[in-house]
Structure 1
Amino acid sequence: MQDKKRSITPQKAVEILNEHGTTVTFEEVKIILDFMYNFAILSVNQLVKNKSTDSDESKKHR
């Protein structure tokens, strides 16, 4: 698990999910938040990589 500060705490995530009818334990929500955090990092890295590749390709065609 990550020890980094995040804007959504596990407790807050449990409350939000409960408000929408999804019951999860504190341990489950920590796993869910870790997955979402890591997925977000991967997504941003992929976008940056693609943007860089697109920029390199446009320079070649000039």
Structure 2
Amino acid sequence: MQDKKRSITPQKAIEILNNHGTTVTFEEAKIILDFMYNFAILSVNQLVKNKYSNSDGSKKYS
């Protein structure tokens, strides 16, 4: 897990998942949160890349 401050703690993730019928350990919650944060970063990067690229791969803006 990264040392950056995050708004959702593993304990809060455990509570949220438990409220929806899923039981996870503290370590599993940390892994889930790491995955979600990394996936979010990749998604935003992909959106930005697509916004500033033409369909042929060339850049719209310099």
**Structure 2 unmatched runs, 5+:** none
TM-score, length basis structure 1: 0.85
Corresponding residue of 1:33 = 33
What is the percentage of aligned positions where both structures have the same residue?
84
Corresponding residue of 2:48 = 48
Bigger Rg, structure 1 or 2: 1
SS of alignment partner, residue 53 of structure 2:
helix
**Structure 1 unmatched runs, 5+:** none
- Report how many residues are paired: 57
Q: Which amino acid aligns with 2:33?
A: L
Distance of 1:17 and 1:3 partners within structure 2 = 23
Distance of 1:52 and 1:5 partners within structure 2 = 30
The answer to which structure has the higher helix fraction is 1
